[in-house]
Amino acid sequence: MDPTYIQGVSSNSIFLSQNIPNILVNKYNLSQAANNFCLHINEMNFFSLHIAIPPGCVDGSFKSFTEKSTGIEYHLCRPFKHQRLGKAINILFDNLWLYHRVSKTKEQNVWFYNVWTGNILSYLLIRFLSHKNTFILLADYNPMRYNNKIGKILLWAIKKAHGVISLSARCYEVNTNFKTIPGIIPDRKINKNPSVFHANKSFLLSGTLNANTGLLLALDVFKNIPEAKLYLSGKLDKNNSKIVEEYAHKYPNIIYKGFYEKFDDYIHLLQSIDYTLSLRNPNSPVNHYNFPSKILETLAYNKIVISTVKYPELDKINYIVVPYSEIDLRESIKKIIDEGESTRIKQCLNNTNILKIKYTETAWIKAFHEMEINK
């Protein structure tokens, strides 16, 4: 890491998040990507204090503690049964406790992971009733959520932050002190060598599998490309699980691997295939503002990314952009298969240098420092 940005690390900044220990993510049905992001931010050791208030779906079975291995201070207030009115009061106590805890600290800079209904009270109290500088890591921006009264308050609160680092470059209007980094890839996790091209015509769609993430499109495309294999890995709801089961039974080239409890098992699958799919509808408002974390995870292993969206956040990255329609996507996939290990494919198998510059700890710590200076 650039020594310029090591100086001052872990001195005057606090991180406030909603993550839980990774081992509990599946139990509470939380986002693995969001959890990983917060843990990676913690691993940089930029923050002298990291307090995690688990989201409202986590009940009193979770007990407050400080994790020795990470230094994260997990805290919940659950004096009442965590249902209906009791749940609302518990979350209110979470916010009041967090304000009291942060207001007593010596650090001047406070970074929130998102501002939403579950932490808006603590954010406003810290922003306007303390002398601390408040910043936001904006990981989940969707303008459709800000149309009602509460949404308008949330958007106003984001604009009142002293600065915002967003995972999307397409919501720059939310704050005048604005930077974009679409995610974090720890330097140690970036494959230093080009990926192996297996030429086995294998494709992977992973993560949360539903219509919005391209599940139905992928199924309809690959049922008509029997020479290619489509691997599916991740979480399915009951309805989509039935659909996938039917397709996998009828088409031998469509294979559902389930949700991997062990990350190493998922990586073993990832390394065995040549192409990864990101099939978001570019015309959907929600996809205009978000950025799929799976893309960076895939790029870290120098696998070939095929995306239906051209992302400004991936400027200078080698990946393949394809149309979002069944017929056009099917033809594009066939051409990619016929292309084999071309010059373009070889470039997509090695993004190491640009990844290290744009998305590792160095880039994030630099952004934190600059943001705090320019508040």
Instruction: Strand 275-278: give its sheet, edge to edge.
Output: 254-256, 229-235, 202-208, 275-278, 304-307, 320-321
Domain 9-182+359-372 shares a fold with domain 185-353: yes
42: tokens are: 């913690």
Q: How far is CA 349 from CA 84, 239, 290, 304, in A?
A: 50, 35, 25, 6
Instruction: Please determine, looking at this structure, whether the domain spanning 9-182+359-372 carries the CATH number 1.10.150.120.
Output: no
- What is the rounded distance in angstroms from the CA atom of residue 74 to the CA atom of residue 318? 39
Q: What is the pLDDT of residue 10?
A: 54
Enumerate the H helices of the chain as residue ranges.
Answer: 32-43, 84-103, 120-129, 149-159, 215-222, 238-250, 263-272, 285-289, 293-300, 326-339, 343-348, 352-358, 361-373
Strand partners, 66: 73
CATH fold of 185-353 reads Rossmann fold (3.40.50)
| pTM summary value | 0.89
Give average pLDDT by consecutive 10-residue segment, the chain, 375 residues.
Answer: 47 94 90 92 95 96 96 97 96 98 96 96 98 95 83 95 95 94 95 95 95 96 98 94 97 95 91 97 87 92 97 96 97 97 96 96 95 91
Task: Enumerate residues 6+ apart whose C-beta is below 8 A from 288.
Answer: 170, 282
Q: What is the pLDDT of residue 285?
A: 81
Domains of the chain, by residue range, sit at 9-182+359-372, 185-353
Q: How far is CA 30 from CA 22, 24, 88, 148, in A?
A: 10, 9, 19, 25
